[in-house]
Amino acid sequence: MAQTVLHIDRPFDEDVVRSVVGSDVILLGPEDPLEWALGAIVGAATWNSTRFDAAPSLQVLARTGIGVDAVDLAEATRRRVMVTNTPDGPTVSTAEHTMALLFAVAKTLPHHQQMLRDAAGSYTANSRAVELDGLTLGLVAYGRIARRVAAMAAAVGMKVVAHDPFLTADATAGDPAEVELVAFDRLLDSADVISLHCPLTDESRRLFRAEIFARCKPGLIFVNAARGGLVDHDDLLAALDSGQVIAAGLDVTDPEPLPPDHPLLHRLDVIVTPHVASSTVVGRRRMLVMALEQAMAALDGSTPTHLVNRDVLG
């Protein structure tokens, strides 16, 4: 039987990898060719027909995360390549980062820090910080990460509503936070804070654009730790300039990373982090281990528990 060859597209801790795959698997690093790889552990890299051509022996592509928008699923299925993800891997880290962005921009931390740097004085009188207790948080999609964000937001006194067209009204039963599922229009009308948690699809691309920002409550706080392509950044800038949006916290952008001169990086009412919400030390290890487990299950002849393109089984 041919020896298992596994490609990992980022630097990795071999001890961690070996604890999952054993000592007999040949490991290829980011700079090694894909020609002999039977499995690939991948981050956010784009996998299209050209990339698949470079890996003619590939049987499984295991994402260290949730989103698979960078993978051509139809092409993978055509080539009989299983695509998996790790839906439980980034939950804790991404939810915490979402709340960190929310607190940072609501409390205007960049503004206060800049005032100190400028020795501006009148710090208390010039504070524009927002108190979150009693405000309404609107979650766009209500999956694992959004549920954890909801629990944390409720703990600080926020009311939480969510819109998810794939869920029924009883989907929040048993959740630690009281969350009301509402229509998208109602979420826009009622939310003081909006946080995005939906996947990037053809339908959701540029979901938040000028006409949607205009329908939101004035003075909106906006947070996105999902996908940059969900937002038209020119329209977000216009909404910030007009005061329709008073602050934004972004972990994802389009493109990624933003060029250093991009205006979003030079505003005191915006915080941008470089798509690192899930990248805590524990989070990275958790996602790597989960992706390795999915890949090894596929290579051992089993159906992975988090198979995305189930048509490949047909």
- What are the catalytic residues? 227, 256, 275
DSSP per residue, 215-282: HSPTTEEEEE-S-GGGB-HHHHHHHHHHTSEEEEEES--SSSSPPTT-GGGG-TTEEE--S-TT-SHH
8 A C-beta contact, residue 213 and residue 235: yes
8 A C-beta contact, residue 222 and residue 252: no
Distance of CA 9 to the CA centre of its chain: 19
Tokens 């009204």 correspond to 169
Between CA 77 and CA 307 the distance in angstroms is: 11
8 A C-beta contact, residue 145 and residue 95: yes
Residue 281 contacts by C-beta under 8 Å, 6 or more apart in sequence?
A: none
Q: How deeply is 61 buried, as exposed, middle or buried, from its count of CB atoms within 10 A (0-12, 13-18, 19+)?
A: buried
